[in-house]
Chain A
């Protein structure tokens, strides 16, 4: 990395963090309003337990208006307190961090699976053009991307667990010889069928083809240099970070389904559960963390952009 890129990166990161803070504020506000307006509340189901357990003093101190409640939540957030889950009574922050790591593992793992499948196909068809081989591979990626996550998940579970009994049904419940492999199943399923393989192939292929036709690549060839070396930054690095940043939300969405199907103790499953329970503090916490992950993706993309091309910082 060039030294000249350090300053623009610091500037960018500071600015991005500021923007991210504003964005998170907006996200939390919108989600809070949606939750407030949505029908039902946690106490409708838990009313008896709350009545017996609740501290009458605390209940009296709670603000009555919706904006009052939001500002209380915000004030606690700045103290590092996201409240307690209504269902379990555990602190939301700890809970979300605990399951967030599982989701991060699932997300990053499946992203790698997607890239491992998509990148070679994209590179091959960019280099060779639309030969029958690359054409059939492209069609294959479209078919694969059209598979619904839950369907593939159940099929995989049926084959590997019910048919061949390779794994225990529940996550990490027993230590068999194949147990470690069980961690790979959801990752593979989400990586294959999150619907982004075909998009990665298409985007990367088109970008590479475009860059291969650039005049500076002709120059590189004319001086005997490697086409790959000269096209790497614009033809590979930039598009790949762009597509990763753009697809993280989709993969997080897919994770909700996969975690449900595979009993994976992640953020998606917890979000689903929390939504059913109307567990407001938990939903708010999960939304916040998901927004942070998405924002980190785009920050990474911007940083890569600046490192390869300092001109971008001058825009």
Chain B
């Protein structure tokens, strides 16, 4: 068995042009992430913090320009060990001013060709993905069973269609779809949202991937269905034990499923560490943003007394005009006089405060 993380993202930058093409939306701005084998990494953050784009960048599915412009995505599984962004620098040139990328030249067509070549045998086979909106994410013109069958034929050693059909039925059963034989021939619109997401999960697992990326798997569903899907994912975690990158803005979902948690804000990771340490909400040992995020979840007491929800003040960071210093500085309530100068003018690094727990905040730095 190989050692080290299954997925190691280093210094990932994914930018998009603004409408005018004069500036960049810095969707992913220097992300570092690691996922150990068999673990679930939860990535949490507000809308627009770059969670999904990070996932799409890993899969090479970013189509808007300029897209991925620098970084390294190391994948290390039983069969494959390579950098998914290999030869990236051949197609991309960047101009940097005071440590910030200000101009990009990218040969997108040749880059995309290269990505498709690198990702052949990885997409589906090594990394599978579950998407947010199950009904839109499955082909409406083909039955769900056939879509799972296709995935099995493409990505596993199974070569006969009949055998692939049996495997597909097995997976449909595994995700607890009732009467899988009937559902096999249903098109996605014939299934409910929750059923569709189950089928989607079955499809993602059917290729027996080394890494599963679940991009907001519960967001598009009703609250009751959500908890069912979380239960299913929990069950799959114990029975299948696939390494998972779970993206969600729902902290309860993250809490239920994650071993490790990364908190994203404005395109970077603010905090990365063991789930219990980060989600405990202990102010002394967490990033001010995480603390504010945790405080914004109403507890039972607050729900009963119908107290006002505690929102984080200010707006979500606009990544076009980044502040010079810490990204969270404009909204941060824990700036002290001691560190105020630093917070305003210089971006803090990701500093390890205890084993495996890293925080990007001046409070923890000297």
Contacts and interface: CB of A to CB of B under 8 A. Distances in A.
A76 interface: no
B155 interface: yes
21 contacts: A214-B136, A215-B131, A215-B133, A216-B136, A216-B137, A219-B137, A219-B200, A221-B59, A222-B59, A222-B123, A223-B124, A224-B119, A224-B123, A224-B154, A225-B124, A233-B141, A309-B140, A309-B141, A310-B187, A311-B140, A311-B189
A218 interface: yes
A309 B155 CA distance: 27
Given A309-B141, A310-B187, A222 B129 contact: yes
CB-based closest 10 A-B pairs: A224-B124, A223-B124, A215-B136, A222-B129, A224-B123, A233-B141, A216-B139, A219-B137, A215-B137, A223-B151
A215 B133 CA distance: 8
Contacts of A309: 140-141
A253 to B, nearest CB: 34
B139 A220 contact: yes
A218 B154 contact: no
Given A218-B61, A221-B61, A224-B154, A234 B141 contact: yes
Nearest to B116: A221
Given A221-B59, A221-B123, A223-B123, 19 more contacts: A4-B185, A214-B136, A216-B136, A216-B138, A216-B140, A218-B131, A218-B137, A219-B129, A219-B131, A219-B137, A221-B61, A222-B123, A223-B128, A224-B121, A224-B124, A224-B151, A224-B154, A309-B141, A310-B187
A230 interface: yes
Nearest to B126: A224
Interface in B301-326: none
A128 B139 CA distance: 23
A124 B141 CA distance: 24
A85 B151 CA distance: 63
A308 interface: yes
B207 interface: yes
B150 interface: yes
B193 to A, nearest CB: 14
Interface in B145-186: 150-151, 154-155, 185
Interface of B: 59, 61, 109, 119-125, 128-129, 131, 133, 136-142, 150-151, 154-155, 185, 187, 189, 200, 203-204, 207
A271 B98 CA distance: 77
A220 to B, nearest CB: 7
B202 to A, nearest CB: 12
A223 B203 contact: yes
Interface in A217-270: 218-225, 230, 233-234
Nearest to A129: B109
B277 to A, nearest CB: 32
Contacts of A128: 109
B207 A223 contact: yes
Nearest to B109: A128
Nearest to A215: B136
Nearest to A227: B116
Contacts of A216: 136-140
A225 B125 CA distance: 11
B128 A222 contact: yes
A225 B151 contact: yes
B131 A223 contact: no
Contacts of B125: 224
Among A222, A225, A230, A234: residue with most chain B CB under 10 A: A222
A215 B150 CA distance: 18
Interface string A116-152: 0000000000001000000000000000000000000
B107 to A, nearest CB: 13
Contacts of A308: 141
Nearest to B65: A129
Contacts of B129: 219, 222-223
A229 to B, nearest CB: 9
Nearest to B154: A224
Contacts of B204: 223
A222 B130 CA distance: 9
A233 B154 CA distance: 20
Contacts of A230: 139, 142
A109 to B, nearest CB: 31
B50 to A, nearest CB: 17
Contacts of B187: 310-311
Nearest to B213: A222
Nearest to A309: B141
A4 B146 CA distance: 15
A220 B207 CA distance: 13
Interface string A141-178: 00000000000000000000000000000000000000
A241 to B, nearest CB: 14
